[in-house]
Amino acid sequence: MKRAVFPGSFDPITNGHYDIIERGLKLFDEIILAIGVNADKKYMFSLEQRQQFIEDAFKGEPKIKVKTYEGLTVDFCIKENADFILRGLRNPADFEFEKAIAHTNRKLQKIETVFLLTSSGKSYISSSIVRDVIRNNGDYTLLVPDAVRV
């Protein structure tokens, strides 16, 4: 079984994330959407809300599992018997950042990182932009799956 972990804070999940996950389903038998827990980070949405958004967005999709984790992503991959990490790239800055993480992960464990380019119509979307739109009472609904309603 080809199992991938797609890690992130998903604060909240965006249409950009959704695009990568949906396309990743064609490549993998199972994708674990792994919500990282970082006690030092301040989130807009609680862990429970973020998990619910994702579960609702992928309701009825048996190839998607939603889990939370703390610590290194590669350790979580080993625990979950996943040989791949799935990541999305929006721009060259994402590539440089993600490349360094992928090399580090590969050094720590025999985990391959698979990069997918975000579809051009969604490459501008980030969780931080969505949070800013929400904070300023803008229409964020075009940037997130229908499951994300606040």
Q: What is the CATH number of the domain that holds 105?
A: 3.40.50.620
Q: Is residue 50 part of a domain?
A: yes
Q: Is residue 140 part of a domain?
A: no
Quick: pLDDT tens for 9-61.
999 999 999 999 999 999 999 999 999 998 788 999 999 999 999 999 999 99
Mean pLDDT of 94-119: 94
Tell me the residue range of the domain where 54 lies.
3-135
Quick: pLDDT tens for 113-134.
999 999 989 999 999 999 999 9
Q: Which residues contact 7 (CB under 8 A, 6 or more apart)?
A: 34, 36, 69, 73, 76, 85
pTM above 0.75, yes or no: yes
Q: Is residue 94 part of a domain?
A: yes
Per-residue confidence at 135, pLDDT binned at 50, 70, 90?
very high
Q: Is residue 148 part of a domain?
A: no
Q: Is residue 145 part of a domain?
A: no
Q: Is residue 123 part of a domain?
A: yes
Mean pLDDT of 91-101: 92
pLDDT at 127: 95
Annotated catalytic residues are 17, 41, 90, 127
Q: How many CA atoms lie within 13 A of 109 on its CB side?
A: 18
Mean pLDDT of 71-87: 97
Q: List C-alpha distances in Å: 133 to 25, 126, 140.
A: 29, 11, 6
Q: Is residue 126 part of a domain?
A: yes
> How many domains does the structure of the chain reveal?
1
Structure tokens at 36: 């990282």
pLDDT at residue 73 greater than cutoff 90: yes
Q: Is residue 28 part of a domain?
A: yes
- Residues 143 and 149: their CA atoms lie apart, in Å, by 11
